[in-house]
A and B are shown apart, each in its own frame.
Chain A
Amino acid sequence: DSGVTQTPKHLITATGQRVTLRCSPRSGDLSVYWYQQSLDQGLQFLIQYYNGEERAKGNILERFSAQQFPDLHSELNLSSLELGDSALYFCASSTTPTSGNTIYFGEGSWLTVV
């Protein structure tokens, strides 16, 4: 158990819909990351937050948005869903830069768009 909690574990929704994925980082971790893993594209970095502020942006679509709340949990919002958005979405967390730099992953949220 990495200590990173993601909900829901599985989600099936229709095209055009909007979903929210939730992540609670490990206790004490200030950084949260979102990754997308699809069958044909491997792992893609989406976005990073550090203590509530966006810190780095990757290949995140404009239809997607994220935020990190004062209690450090994070949400990834996916809207106008398309079939190609079906993937495993990972949340990960890490401590501050001065202590370890190891990134721990949650178990992922399976999203299926039908």
Chain B
Amino acid sequence: AQTVTQSQPEMSVQEAETVTLSCTYDTSESDYYLFWYKQPPSRQMILVIRQEAYKQQNATENRFSVNFQKAAKSFSLKISDSQLGDAAMYFCAYLRAGNNRKLIWGLGTSLAVNP
């Protein structure tokens, strides 16, 4: 069975600095997708970035980028120029390709941004 592990329950960063959130996963599949979702205090679940396993290039969305290491089964999220609005719970999620699309979630990392 697939599992997702986020080893950092809490992290903090100074405004305008860079922070990296860690995520590792375990799977025997070769085709899958990885996501980072953000959940602010409003509890809405917001997609931050996604990565297709077959792509070697790391995904980037503005200040958010990932370091995808397929062999190591690692999928870290880098937030550059951190802003106060980035404070949230961040979840890493795995999705197997195909029709049975059950997201497998990590337990989340709570990110605080200090002014």
Whether chain B is bound by chain A comes out as: yes
**B-contacting residues of A (Cβ < 8 Å)?**
2, 31, 33, 35, 37, 42-43, 45, 48, 50, 55-56, 58, 88, 90, 92, 94, 97, 101-105, 107-108, 110
User: Which residues of A are found within 8 Å of B43, using beta-carbon distances?
Assistant: 37, 88, 107-108, 110
Q: Which of B13-45 contact A (CB under 8 A)?
A: 33, 35, 37, 42-45
Total A-B residue contacts, Cβ distance less than 8 Å = 61
Task: Report yes or no: A105 in contact with B33, Cβ–Cβ below 8 A.
Answer: no
CA distance A31 to B95 in the complex (A): 14
A42 contacts which chain B residues (CB < 8 A)? 105, 107-108
Other-chain residue from A55, A103, A108, A110 in contact with B99 (beta carbon distance below 8 A): A55
Q: A97-B98, A97-B99 are in contact. List 11 more A-B contacts (CB 8 A).
A: A2-B46, A43-B105, A48-B101, A55-B99, A92-B45, A101-B33, A102-B33, A102-B35, A102-B47, A107-B42, A110-B43
Q: Would A102 and B105 count as touching, CB distance under 8 A?
A: no
Task: Output the least CB separation between B37 and chain A (Å).
Answer: 8
Known: A42-B108, A43-B91. A105 touches B44 (CB 8 A): yes
Q: Does chain A have a CB within 8 A of B84?
A: no
Which of B47, B101, B102 meets A104, CB within 8 Å? B47
CA distance A42 to B109 in the complex (A): 12
Q: Is chain A's binding surface mostly helix, strand, loop or mixed?
A: strand
Of A45, A50, A101, A105, the residue contacting B45 (CB under 8 A) is A105
Q: Is B11 located at the chain interface by the 8 A CB criterion?
A: no
Closest to A45 in B: B102
